[in-house]
Amino acid sequence: MKKSCGKKYGFLTAVILAALGSTGCTGGSREAVQTEAENENIVIGFSEVGAESDWRVANTESMRNTFTEEKGYELMFNDAKQKQENQISAIRNYILQAVDYIVFAPAVEEGWDEVLQEAKDAGIPVIIMDRMINTEDESLFTAWEGSDFYAEGVTAMEWLEEYLEEQGRADEEISILHVKGTVGATSQIGRTEGLENGVAAHENWEIAACLEGEYTQAKTYEVVAEYLETDTDIDVIYCENDNSAFGAIQALEEAGISYGVDGDVIIISFDATEAGLTACMNGQINLDVECNPLNGPRVEMIIQQLENGETPEKYSYVDETYFVPEDLTEDLIASREY
Ligand code: AHR
């Protein structure tokens, strides 16, 4: 897909040349504009969900570190501040600027068909990363790569079953407080489904309540603190990311309720960021299921395949694991990239 003349400046150049023509500028100025037009970089328009979590920051860094000018890329970046409408505007803007590729991490699954049809009509390949979209027309995107969020939820439930057995609590009534991530995001949908299926398979497990933590520490702290005012009899808090786990921990501390390895409330988290694993190593988080944010190199592989005329896999899942306190050391945490 690499153009002999990068497309990024195509639209702008046309506008500028038209303006120069109408104001009677000299041929020298035209040459200067045309030189700018010979941009051979691969131009990528990237719309990121936001900066709601440590994971997200690591994801953005991975993209920035991968798509550098030294490697022949130009990365245009948009922070959508967790709003789908901002992502749609950014994608329209990238279409207008005729970028070579559009890459985006969708805030939510629904509502992308129209703008992706516009990208398709403009002939711009779209690569989706991290979360997925819900569409009946798979031709609207070239490839997706990211995590199997449902599998992450299943891992958490299998671990909980085994952990309770080891603790001699297999037959106890288990009350789980569920803190959802951004409602409608694939990561929320998958992890929630994993939890719900796990609970359905154990007649002595129940979901005490389902709160919306929006993947942030602040929101989770707010909703968990409020919940604990009326119910403190919970055994597990299922937090759909590390930042939510930090918010839940903050609320538990304030309420004087013990948690973690030596406490009353089991904390389950997702992401396995540096801060999350440190809290896990210290016994504050009982289980941290990995969600790998290093999407930059994986997106680059897809782009390079397209540049070489190859057809990338339509869907690629990254391998992930999970961590419990006894697995963790400072060296192990320091050796990871996020
Ligand atoms: O979609 C991935 C999720 O989004 C991560 O678990 C979370 O931290 C992020 O905000």
Query: 287: which 2 tokens?
Result: 């289980």
Sign of CA dihedral 161, 177, 216, 132: positive
235 contacts 254 by C-beta, under 8 angstroms: no
Q: d(Cα 328, Cα 276) in Å, to the nearest integer?
A: 11
- Whether pTM > 0.75 for this model: the answer is yes
pLDDT at 253: 98
Other residues' Cβ atoms within 10 Å of the Cβ of residue 329: 11
> Tokens 């409408």 belong to which residue?
85
> Tokens 């009677």 belong to which residue?
24
pLDDT at 31: 39
pLDDT at 38: 58
Q: Which of 54, 56, 59, 155 most suits a substitution to test ligand 1, by most atoms within 8 Å of the C-beta?
A: 56
pLDDT (tens place) for every residue of the chain, 338 residues total: 433 334 444 444 433 333 333 333 333 333 334 344 456 899 999 999 999 999 999 999 999 999 999 999 999 999 999 999 999 999 999 999 999 999 999 999 999 999 999 999 999 999 999 999 999 999 999 999 999 999 999 999 999 999 999 999 999 999 999 999 999 999 999 999 999 999 999 999 999 999 999 999 999 999 999 999 999 999 999 999 999 999 999 999 999 999 999 999 999 999 999 999 999 999 999 999 999 999 999 999 999 999 999 999 999 999 999 999 999 999 999 999 99
Tell me, in angstroms, the distance from the centre of ligand 1 to residue 240's CA. 8
pLDDT at 270: 99
Closest CA to 276 of 15, 82, 57, 42: 57
Q: d(Cα 173, Cα 157) in Å, to the nearest integer?
A: 15
Nearest CA to ligand 1 atom 2: 187
Q: Buried (b) or exposed (e) across 196-208, using 16+ Cβ within 10 A?
A: eebbeeeeebebb
Question: How far is C-alpha 174 from the geometric centre of its chain's CA atoms?
Answer: 30
Q: d(Cα 290, Cα 76) in Å, to the nearest integer?
A: 28
Nearest CA to ligand 1 atom 3: 187
Tell me, in angstroms, the distance from the centre of ligand 1 to residue 211's CA. 16
Q: Show Cβ contacts of residue 238 under 8 Å, excluding neighbours closer than 6 positions.
A: 156, 176, 177, 178, 179, 195, 268
Tell me, in angstroms, the distance from the centre of ligand 1 to residue 55's CA. 6
pLDDT at 12: 43
Which residues, judged by CB distance below 6 Å to any ligand atom, belong to the binding site of ligand 1? 52-53, 55-56, 130-131, 185, 187, 215, 241, 270-271, 291
For residue 186, the ligand 1 atom closest to its alpha carbon is: 1
Q: Which of 187, 192, 338 most suits a substitution to test ligand 1, by most atoms within 8 Å of the C-beta?
A: 187
269 contacts 306 by C-beta, under 8 angstroms: no
pLDDT at 111: 98
